[in-house]
Amino acid sequence: LGVYLDGLTGKVPEHPMAYAELERRAERSMPPELWSYVAGGAGDERTQNANVTAFDRWGLMPRVLAGAAERDLSTELFGHRLPTPLMLAPVGVIGLCDLAEGRGDLVTARVAAATGVPMIASTLSQDPMEEVARELGDTPGWFQLYPPNDRELTESLVRRAEAAGYSAIVVTLDTLTLGWRPRDLSIAGFPQLKGQCLANYFSDPVFRSRLAAPPEEDPEAATGHWAMIFGNQRLTWDDLAWLRSLTSLPLLLKGICSPEDARRAVDSGVDGVYCSNHGGRQANGGLPALDCLPEVVDAAGEVPVVFDSGVRSGPDVIKALALGARAVAIGRPAAYGLAVGGRAGLEHVVRCLLAELDLTLAIDGYASTAALTRGDLRPVR
Ligand code: FNR
């Protein structure tokens, strides 16, 4: 109500209230190569767009007089009770989206601390994971691992994440090589190849031991070495036992869309399945991630499923939860919030999404996000 009352006194919010406006302002604010990198996806971006429109095919059944004056948005994951089911997905260039100072990883961690919305810190960050973790306070942080083609380095990254206090490891498996992204291919300046977002590598003792000269002295050679070891297309299910053995922290696999893979992941001892198609950035011509979610949830059984790809609003979060996700993450909306308004802009995006989620539950008569079920949705014809 406060937001509406502000309008009566002529006070207009500084940051965009609608997603379309957020996107427009982000495009105007960001340098073109950063905009292309963040907004772009694979091929003609059909899968990326379908991720978003997939939500239109489901509608929440409104209920009245349902006693939803108080809402419980909390969710439980790996022994943590989180105040809301929202998470900040790992975004490799989030550092650069802080246009003022290029400290977006730290700013994102501060917003996570202020809102209680957990951050999943990317391997590809501007600041080392230890510094990001320090900003998180009591809010849980997870570390997202791109397993490099160097086992010792992989182990070192996981050990550092444990020592820094991250409470889960998310291994991303849909990016063992880069996607075909025409927007990036048409414009010079792919961030990582300019040595940006490689702080976790450049600060790593194993990575440094592989170089003839330290990255500070020869950043080009260090970046070249990174490009050689970044992806590991030869990784198979046979490597999962090794990945599992690296940590006693909860382990999640990100990029799971097939129920067979979800089942195999669970059988291999993972603690969580992260259903995502990387926001449509990796492969075009696939299925919208939301369409994969119900089968992945069924296959995962008791193992919790985290979801992202295409979430733009409070109702989107509700639909993903009703289809069985335990938590729901956002990628681009967070990057745009940061680009448009720095820390305040990102916090605005997070708080608006949560307010819309809460308000929708209130209006439609649902007192708890955890109690949402598939039966609360109907297909939109
Ligand atoms: C990503 N994503 C990603 N995922 C990951 O596991 N590690 C990473 O470093 C990155 N980096 C990254 C950069 C940018 C610019 C974007 C937009 C995305 C994928 C991300 O975690 C998430 O899966 C998607 O962003 C979710 O889709 P939406 O919310 O962007 O539609």
Tell which atom from ligand 1 comes closest to the C-alpha of 123: 9
Please state whether 278 falls in left (phi above 0), alpha (psi between -120 and 50) or beta.
Answer: left
* DSSP helix, strand, coil percent of the chain (3-state; round to 5): 50, 10, 40
Give catalytic residues, as residue numbers.
278
What is the arithmetic mean of pLDDT over 147-158?
Answer: 97
Question: Ligand 1 centre and the CA of 233: distance in Å?
Answer: 19
Does the pLDDT of residue 188 top 80, yes or no?
no
The whole-angstrom separation of Cα 153 and Cα 236 is 18
Note the pLDDT tens digit of each residue in 5-37: 777 888 888 999 999 999 999 999 999 999 999
pLDDT for 313 equals 98
Instruction: Say how many CA atoms lie within 13 Å of 199 toward its Cβ.
Output: 21
CB of 162 within 8 A of CB of 188?
no
Nearest CA to ligand 1 atom 23: 278
Question: Ligand 1 centre and the CA of 14: distance in Å?
Answer: 26
Q: Which residues line ligand 1 (CB under 6 A)?
A: 37-38, 51, 89-93, 122, 124, 144, 172, 254, 276, 278-279, 281, 308-311, 330-332, 335
Does the pLDDT of residue 154 top 80, yes or no?
yes
Tell which atom from ligand 1 comes closest to the C-alpha of 52: 31
Per-residue HEC secondary structure of the chain comes to: CHHHHHHHCCCCCCCCCCHHHHHHHHHHHCCHHHHHHHHCCCCCCHHHHHHHHHHHHEEECCCCCCCCCCCECCEEECCEEECCCEEECCCCCHHHHCCCCCCHHHHHHHHHHHHCCCEEECCCCCCCHHHHHHHCCCCCEEEEECCCCCHHHHHHHHHHHHHHCCCCEEEECCCCCCCCCHHHHCCCCCHHHHCCCCHHHHCCHHHHHCCCCCCCCCHHHHHHHHHHHCCCCCCCHHHHHHHHHCCCCCEEEECCCCHHHHHHHHHCCCCEEEECCHHHCCCCCCCCHHHHHHHHHHHHCCCCEEECCCCCCHHHHHHHHHCCCCEEEECHHHHHHHHHHHHHHHHHHHHHHHHHHHHHHHHHCCCECCCCCHHHEEECC
Q: Which of 118, 125, 64 is nearest to 86 (CA)?
A: 118
Nearest CA to ligand 1 atom 19: 278
Pairing of strands 86-88, 80-82: unpaired
The whole-angstrom separation of Cα 339 and Cα 97 is 5
The whole-angstrom separation of Cα 53 and Cα 36 is 21
Tell which atom from ligand 1 comes closest to the C-alpha of 174: 6
What is the arithmetic mean of pLDDT over 333-359?
Answer: 98
CB of 14 within 8 A of CB of 344?
yes
Does the pLDDT of residue 195 top 90, yes or no?
no
Question: Which residue do the tokens 């320090």 mark?
Answer: 134
Nearest CA to ligand 1 atom 12: 91
Does the pLDDT of residue 190 top 80, yes or no?
no
pLDDT for 196 equals 87
Nearest CA to ligand 1 atom 16: 91
Question: Ligand 1 centre and the CA of 306: distance in Å?
Answer: 14
Q: Which of 234, 236, 230, 190 is nearest to 210 (CA)?
A: 230
3-state secondary structure of 4: helix
Tell which atom from ligand 1 comes closest to the C-alpha of 332: 30
Question: Ligand 1 centre and the CA of 358: distance in Å?
Answer: 25
pLDDT for 6 equals 79
Does the pLDDT of residue 367 top 80, yes or no?
yes
Q: Which amino acid belongs to residue 344?
A: A
Across all residues in the chain, what is the average pLDDT? 96
Please choose from 46, 281, 328, 330 the residue to mutate so as to test ligand 1's pocket, defined by most ligand atoms within 8 A of CB. Answer: 281
Nearest CA to ligand 1 atom 10: 91
pTM recorded for the entire structure: 0.98
- CA 206 to each of CA 168, 200, 244: distance values in angstroms, whole numbers, following the listed order: 22, 11, 20
Question: Ligand 1 centre and the CA of 361: distance in Å?
Answer: 27
ipTM for the predicted complex comes to 1.00
Note the pLDDT tens digit of each residue in 223-273: 999 999 999 999 999 999 999 999 999 999 999 999 999 999 999 999 999
CB of 257 within 8 A of CB of 286?
yes
pLDDT for 2 equals 74
Nearest CA to ligand 1 atom 29: 331
Nearest CA to ligand 1 atom 2: 91
Note the pLDDT tens digit of each residue in 112-122: 999 999 999 99
Tell which atom from ligand 1 comes closest to the C-alpha of 308: 26
Tell which atom from ligand 1 comes closest to the C-alpha of 122: 9
Question: Ligand 1 centre and the CA of 94: distance in Å?
Answer: 10
